[in-house]
């Protein structure tokens, strides 16, 4: 079996699909190629997963290959053990994550608690959820208090005509 590296695959692709000389056509080519390769990567990933399932289900063995399940590692605190074993230290380091606090408490409660803690400085951090405002204001008033901001996402090249350069 021949194993290809990224440079060899790129060379094969660029032989089959030559790189345009015009900058816009090249940008368009790269955009289309990146999308196609992303789609192709999904196909190979799905095929890989299906083949691994077949190997595992059939108990298949190979003289040349071995199926190894890779693992990632992360550290995790044993909360119960720390709470019981070192209660003073536990009290120093225990907290609720921001995302859990938001799930457990209302946004209004969190706002009032922070305001109580930092006073008028809270205005530097004021935020309003767009969906909440849209649910409470009819359209004529809504546009008075909401604006749409355009944020550049990056460039996209579009083909204006089907005319090709030789």
**CA gap 104, 110 in Å, rounded:** 10
**What's the pLDDT at 166?**
47
User: Which residue, among 46, 67, 44, 42, has the nearest Cα to 55 in the 3D structure?
Assistant: 67
**CA gap 105, 125 in Å, rounded:** 18
User: Which residue, among 74, 91, 72, 71, has the nearest Cα to 82 in the 3D structure?
Assistant: 91
What percent of the chain has pLDDT above 70?
96
* pLDDT tens, position by position, 13-66: 999 999 999 999 999 999 999 999 999 999 999 999 999 999 999 999 999 899
**CA gap 162, 166 in Å, rounded:** 13
Please state the rounded mean pLDDT for residues 89-94: 94
Among the ranges given (120-129, 130-139, 151-160), the one the predictor scored with the smallest mean pLDDT: 151-160
Please state the rounded mean pLDDT for residues 146-163: 81
User: Which residue, among 99, 127, 129, 103, has the nearest Cα to 115 in the 3D structure?
Assistant: 127
What percent of the chain has pLDDT above 90?
69
**What's the pLDDT at 140?**
86
Is residue 113 scored above 50 in pLDDT? yes
């Amino acid at each position: 079996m021949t194993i290809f590296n990224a440079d060899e695959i790129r060379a094969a692709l660029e032989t089959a699909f030559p790189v345009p000389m015009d900058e816009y056509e090249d940008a368009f080519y790269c955009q289309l190629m990146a999308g196609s390769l992303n789609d192709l990567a999904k196909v190979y990933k799905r095929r890989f997963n299906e083949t691994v399932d077949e190997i595992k289900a059939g108990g298949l063995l190979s003289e040349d290959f071995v199926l190894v399940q890779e693992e990632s590692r992360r550290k995790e605190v044993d909360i119960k053990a720390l709470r019981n074993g070192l209660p003073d230290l536990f009290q120093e380091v225990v907290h609720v994550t921001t995302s859990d606090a938001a799930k457990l408490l209302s946004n209004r409660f969190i706002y009032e608690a922070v305001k109580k803690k930092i006073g008028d400085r809270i205005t530097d951090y004021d935020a309003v959820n767009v969906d909440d405002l849209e649910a409470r204001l009819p359209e004529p008033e809504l546009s008075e208090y909401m604006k749409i901001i355009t944020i550049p996402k990056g460039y996209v090249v579009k083909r204006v005509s089907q005319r090709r350069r030789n």
